[in-house]
Amino acid sequence: MSTTTEHEDLGIVLAMVFMSWSDQSLNEQEIQLIREEARNQGLDEEELNLLSQVVHQPPSLETIISYLPTLESRKAAATAAYVSALVDRTLTLEELKAFDQMCKTFGLSELERDKIRAFGDREIPLTKAGDWKEALYLENIEFDDL
């Protein structure tokens, strides 16, 4: 399979798989979202075969970026990946770290990363209680002051 712009759609779905695996498991909501996006992106048979392999073994960021030759395609992939991490309405520290690493590898600025996070947080608000203090990525704020 060549890694030209014709496979950017695959890169977007692979980014979603990477993020979904960042907490060491794929839940049913994540699998459904990935399947739906694969259908929406119109992946061909060869791409679907590759996708079925990485659902059991997550792709590396280097593999993903090879399908995303432009900054715009990387932004789209990072956005889809972040939203896929929020599908269960929780955000783990592992997912947050994986997203930050993805953005760095994709060459996105901190401002671009923060815009993607703000978009995702607006579209899919977190509703489950949990380690929310770990999930928040705020600098210079003491939680005791809130």
pLDDT tens digits, residue range 24-74?
Answer: 877 788 888 888 888 888 888 888 888 888 777 888 999 999 999 999 999
- Tell me the domains of the chain and their CATH numbers: 5-145 (1.10.3680.10)
Per residue in 80-122, pLDDT tens? Answer: 999 888 887 778 889 899 999 999 999 999 999 999 999 888 8
Instruction: Specify the pTM.
Output: 0.76
* Per-residue three-class SS string for the chain: CCCCHHHHHHHHHHHHHHHHHCCCCCCHHHHHHHHHHHHHHCCCHHHHHHHHHHCCCCCCHHHHHHCCCCHHHHHHHHHHHHHHHCCCCCCCHHHHHHHHHHHHHHCCCHHHHHHHHHHHHHHCCCCCCCCHHHHCCCCCCCHHHC
